Each structure stands twice: as structure tokens, then as C-alpha cells.
Amino acid sequence: MTQFKNHKATQSPNLLVGLDNPDDGGVINIGDQKIIQTVDFFTPILDNPYDWGRVAAANALSDVYAMGGEPISALQLVCWPRNDISFDILSEVIRGGLDTMEKANCTVVGGHSIDDKEPKYGFSITGIVKGKVLKNNNINNGDRLFLTKPIGTGIITTAIKKGIASEGSIKLVTDIMTKLNKDALEFGLRNNATAITDVTGFGLLGHLYEMLKNSSLSATVNFEKVPLISDIYEYLDKGIYPSGSERNRDYLSKNIIHDSKEKSIQILCDAQTNGGLLIAIPKDQEIKSSKNMKVNEDIWEIGEINTKYNEKINII
């Protein structure tokens, strides 16, 4: 789509965030109100259809939270092989999605379905911004970086697809991927966040690079402080690593400076599904825990924005 960013259809005097500077969602002014629009859907990521629906909904909602917004309404998107997979299974998928939307106080107002060879499910979300729009690249030198979920969902979900994930791993990754990022946004707003992005398919380092790429700033990440899903080394040792994560690592290889072990870089490039928010907070801000999230329990400080390496990510 970026090749069409100068098309008249992608331009408006009311457009605040669009294709000129892609972010987690688009933002446009409607009168005095800032409206967020985003869409996300994907193929089954878990064997349990109800949980797949929950993850798909939570993942779509995260783009709104990452822009500093409140989700208001949603449209369901369904692709279903009606001659091959029971509609009873689809009902469970939809029930999971609706339960998550209810939890987010987001009203599902309709949707669209088509017959497709491969099942897919997701949502188009509309949200509003009551304060400032939190772009992913509005960073400053000295900003501290906080992460609100552990890394490793791509590795675990790949193990699930290969049929070797333990029940404990499945439960753990399901809990992480179905958790809404609403409380994480509250933490960011409470601490005057300068920039926020949600960590998804580009991995932690990929989304951090998105924060940096249009600036002369760089970042340092302390690997020992990055929260990890406890089981991921077990699966890495068995050669479990998603192809999407591999592409992330290849793409970022020229922009990472490190003396770390190879597995550390693999983990930091792992493609996530509904990962946490990566939040930049001013260096002099007194960090305040939010009602439902505590620093070093649900939120981890993992690094900083600096000028040590020009447009590079330094892993220590």
C-alpha cells in the first residue's frame, strides 16, 4: 500500500496519521473528535476455536490501545470453508471474539463473511482518542523503554502447530495472547508516555526499529531485563523457530549491534501475536504503577533511547 501513499484517496487535511507515516492505526479528525481505524485478522493460531476468537479480538483491539485510544465499535471479518469445517466450530470462534469485545466495552455492530479455503477471523475496529495521539515514533533522547508482556509467543505457537507444545505452555501462551492491553495503555498515560507501539509480527526489535527509523536516535536493550516466556528455550533447543521470526532477524541484521548469544537475538526478533505494548517514557518521569499493573511484575523496564549508535539497536 505504501506505493499509493500519494494517491488523492490517501490524502486529507483532516488526516493525522496515515500512509505517509504508517503506525498501528490510522487517525483522522471528524469535527472535534479524533477517530482511530484499524483492521486485523489471521488464520488459526490455537487449536481451541474459542481461544482463537479471543486472541483475534484482543490482537485487533491492541492497535487502538497503541494509538492512545479507546475502542468504540467493531466489524467482524470471517473467511470460512463451509464445506470442510463445521459451523459449530465457527460459532465457538465468534463466541470467543464477542466475549473479548464485551470485556473491552467495544460494540460489535456487524461484519462480513465469505467462503474461503482457509479459515480466517478478525475485526475492523473504530476507536476515539480523548487526549493526544500516541504515535510509535515520537521518541526523545533519554526516554526509558518499558514492555508489558513477556516475549516468546511465536515460538510457543509454532510448537503448538507442530504438536509438541506442553499443556502448560499452551495455557501460558493463551493467557498472554488473550490479555487486553487496556491496562498497559493506562500505565503509559499515567506516566506521560511519549510514544507507544504494540509488539506483534515484527517482533520486539522490529517494532523498536520502527520507533527509530525516521530519527537519528538509537536504542539500548538489556536482554537480561526483557521478560521471557519460561518455556521458550526448551523449544528453541528443538529447532522450533517461526519463519516470520527468521525474516525479522534477517531484515534487522544490519541494524543490530550485539555480543549476545544467537538465541538471544532469535528471541528478541520472535514474531508475536497480541504481545505487550512497548512504551517510551521521559527519563525524568517518576514511574507510577497503575491500578492493575505493577513495575517488575506486569511491566518491565528493558532499555532506553539514546544517541550512542546512530539509528542502531544495541543489545547488552
Q: ∠209-213-218 over CA atoms, to 5°?
A: 70
| pLDDT band for position 235 (cuts 50, 70, 90) | very high
pLDDT for the residue numbered 242: 95
Rounded Cα–Cα distance for residues 37 and 231 (Å)? 35
Q: Are 244 and 252 in contact (CB under 8 A)?
A: no
pLDDT for the residue numbered 2: 59
Question: In the predicted model, what is the mean pLDDT of residues 277-297?
Answer: 89
pLDDT digits (tens, 9 = 90+) for 57-89: 999 999 999 999 999 999 999 999 988 899 999
**E strands, 32-180, in order:** 33-42, 70-80, 107-115, 120-129, 144-147
DSSP-derived secondary structure letter, 25: S
Q: Is pLDDT of 210 > 90?
A: yes
pLDDT digits (tens, 9 = 90+) for 120-144: 999 999 999 988 999 988 999 999 9
pTM of the model: 0.93
pLDDT for the residue numbered 3: 66
7 or 282, which is more confident?
282
| pLDDT band for position 308 (cuts 50, 70, 90) | confident
CATH class of 2-129: alpha beta
**Least confident interval from 47-61, 95-109, 206-220:** 206-220
Strands 313-315 and 218-221: parallel
pLDDT for the residue numbered 60: 97
CB atoms within 10 A of CB 297: 9
CATH architecture designation of domain 144-315: Alpha-Beta Complex (3.90)
Burial class (CB in 10 A: 0-12, 13-18, 19+), 19: middle
Rounded Cα–Cα distance for residues 206 and 244 (Å)? 11
Domains of the chain, residue spans: 2-129, 144-315
Strand partners of residue 88: none
